[in-house]
C-alpha cells in the first residue's frame, strides 16, 4: 500500500467523526490550543464535552463543524477529510446549534426553522416548497413547540429559542448535531424542557450522533452515552459516561475536589472540599 493510498482511506470505517493526532496552534503567538487529540464518534453516540474555560472546547467543536482546519493531524467528519472536501457542502450536512446564532427577532418560529433548509439567516422563499414547509412544522411538533409556529422568535423564552434552533438544525437531516452550550442562561423549567427534548430526540433518531458542550452535569440528558474531558488542550479522559464522569476524573479536570452523583440517569456535581 502506497503512502498516498493510505492517506485516502478513512481513519475509521463508519465513524461519524475521526480525529487523529490533531493539534491546533495560534499562529500569532504559537500558543497550543489543542494538542495530540485522538477521538472517534460513532453513529448513535451522544457525547458531552466538558472542561474549564480555555480548555479548547470551542476550538474542538469548530473542527467538528468544519469551521476551521487543524494545524497538524487529520479530521474526518461524515467520511470527508478536512482539506480534501468542499467545506460548504460538508457544513450543510452538519447540524450546529449555538445561542450566538444570528436570528432576525421578527421572524416567526416556523420561518426560523425553514431557514435551516437553505442555511441562511434570512428566508429564501422560492426555495421552500410545500414539502419543506410541512417538514418544518413536523420538526416543531417533534420538539413539542408546534404552538410557537407563528410566534416571533424575539418574544420566545430562552428554552423555546433553543428548541427552535435545534429544529432549524434538523432541517438538513444531519447525521451529526453539535450543540455549543445550548443551556446557557436558561432557568430551571426551561433547562428541564430542553433536557427532555434532547432525550426524546435521541430515542427517536437512533442513528443521530450529538456532541454537547456544557459546564454543568445537571444539563446532561439520560441519553448522553459518552463524555470527553479536556484540560489545557489535551484529552484527560474520554469514553462511556460511567467511566469518565467520576469524582477523581472531574477533580483532575477542574483542579478542585469534586463529588459526583447519578440518579435515574441524571447527573450532578458539587464541591467535595472538607467543611464545604
Q: For a pLDDT cut of 90, what percent of the chain falls above it?
A: 81
Q: Note the pLDDT tens digit of each residue in 206-216.
A: 999 999 999 89
Q: What is the pLDDT of residue 92?
A: 87
Where do the structural domains in the chain lie, given as residue ranges? 1-93+175-276, 99-173
The set of cell numbers assigned to 75 is: 479530521
Closest to 96 (Cα-Cα) out of 186, 165, 50, 173: 165
Q: Note the pLDDT tens digit of each residue in 73-131.
A: 999 999 999 999 999 889 989 999 987 788 999 999 999 999 999 988 999 999 999 99
Q: For a pLDDT cut of 70, what percent of the chain falls above it?
A: 94
pLDDT(10) > 50:
no
pLDDT(12) > 90:
no
- Average per-residue pLDDT for the chain: 91
Residue 228 confidence class, pLDDT cut points 50, 70, 90: very high
Residue 274 confidence class, pLDDT cut points 50, 70, 90: low
Q: Are 153 and 112 contacting, i.e. CB atoms less than 8 angstroms apart?
A: yes
Q: What is the pLDDT of residue 36?
A: 94
Non-local CB neighbours of 190 within 8 Å, separated by 6+ positions: 157, 158, 159, 160, 162
Q: Domain 1-93+175-276 is classified in which CATH homologous superfamily?
A: P-loop containing nucleotide triphosphate hydrolases (3.40.50.300)
Q: d(Cα 120, Cα 148) in Å, to the nearest integer?
A: 20
Q: d(Cα 53, Cα 163) in Å, to the nearest integer?
A: 25
Q: Are 182 and 194 contacting, i.e. CB atoms less than 8 angstroms apart?
A: yes
Q: What is the pLDDT of residue 131?
A: 96
Out of 23-32, 42-51, 175-184, 220-229, least confident range: 23-32
Q: What is the dihedral of CA 245, 247, 250, 255, to 10 degrees?
A: 180
The more confident residue out of 2 and 154 is 154
Amino acid at each position: 500500500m502506497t503512502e498516498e493510498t493510505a492517506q485516502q482511506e478513512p481513519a475509521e470505517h463508519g465513524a461519524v467523526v475521526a480525529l487523529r493526532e490533531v493539534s491546533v496552534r495560534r499562529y500569532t503567538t504559537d500558543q497550543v490550543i489543542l494538542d495530540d487529540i485522538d477521538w472517534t464518534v460513532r453513529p448513535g453516540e451522544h457525547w458531552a464535552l466538558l472542561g474549564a474555560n480555555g480548555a479548547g472546547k470551542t476550538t474542538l467543536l469548530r473542527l467538528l463543524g468544519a469551521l476551521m482546519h487543524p494545524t497538524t493531524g487529520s479530521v474526518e467528519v461524515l467520511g470527508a477529510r478536512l482539506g480534501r472536501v468542499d467545506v460548504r457542502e460538508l457544513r450543510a450536512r452538519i447540524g450546529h446549534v449555538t445561542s450566538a446564532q444570528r436570528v432576525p427577532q421578527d421572524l416567526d418560529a416556523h420561518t426560523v426553522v425553514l431557514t435551516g433548509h437553505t442555511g441562511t439567516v434570512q428566508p429564501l422563499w422560492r426555495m421552500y416548497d410545500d414539502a419543506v414547509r410541512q417538514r418544518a412544522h413536523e420538526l416543531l411538533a417533534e420538539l413539542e413547540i408546534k404552538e410557537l409556529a407563528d410566534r416571533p422568535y424575539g418574544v420566545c423564552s430562552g428554552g423555546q429559542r433553543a428548541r427552535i434552533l435545534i429544529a432549524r438544525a434538523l432541517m438538513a437531516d444531519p447525521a451529526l448535531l453539535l450543540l455549543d452550550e445550548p443551556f446557557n442562561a436558561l432557568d430551571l423549567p426551561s433547562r428541564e424542557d430542553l433536557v427532555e427534548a434532547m432525550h426524546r430526540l435521541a430515542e427517536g433518531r437512533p442513528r443521530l450522533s450529538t456532541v454537547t458542550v456544557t459546564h454543568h452535569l445537571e444539563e446532561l440528558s439520560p441519553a448522553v452515552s459518552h463524555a470527553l474531558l479536556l484540560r489545557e488542550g489535551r484529552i484527560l479522559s474520554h469514553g462511556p459516561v460511567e467511566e469518565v464522569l467520576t469524582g477523581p476524573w472531574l477533580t483532575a479536570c477542574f483542579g478542585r475536589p469534586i463529588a459526583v452523583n447519578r440518579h435515574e440517569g441524571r447527573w450532578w456535581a458539587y464541591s467535595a472540599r472538607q467543611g464545604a
